[in-house]
């Protein structure tokens, strides 16, 4: 077992189909805005995914062309 994030509120983790990335949503403490994030299994490579509005409950789907 390993801690991959240490933010105030990270929720709804979901594994990528290849099992190498975990996607989750993070709520910002001050603004209450939610966004989708990804982290690899080392916990060192977090990245925020661009979304047009607040986002939560991530899910994996097919890659768009």
The string of pLDDT tens digits covering residues 2-16 is 788 878 799 999 999
pLDDT at position 26 is: 92
- Side by side, the strands of the sheet bearing 34-40 are 10-15, 21-27, 34-40, 47-48
Domain layout of the chain by residue ranges: 10-48
Contacts within 8 Å (CB) and 24+ apart, 31-36:
none
pLDDT at position 38 is: 94
The string of pLDDT tens digits covering residues 13-61 is 999 999 999 999 999 888 889 999 999 988 889 999 998 888 888 888 8
pLDDT at position 34 is: 92
């Amino acid at each position: 077992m390993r801690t991959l994030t240490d933010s105030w509120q990270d929720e709804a983790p979901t594994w990528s189909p290849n099992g190498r990335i975990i996607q989750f949503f993070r709520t910002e403490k001050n603004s209450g805005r939610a966004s989708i994030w990804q982290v690899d299994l080392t916990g060192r490579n977090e990245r925020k995914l661009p979304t047009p509005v607040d986002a939560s409950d991530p899910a994996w789907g097919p890659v768009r062309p």
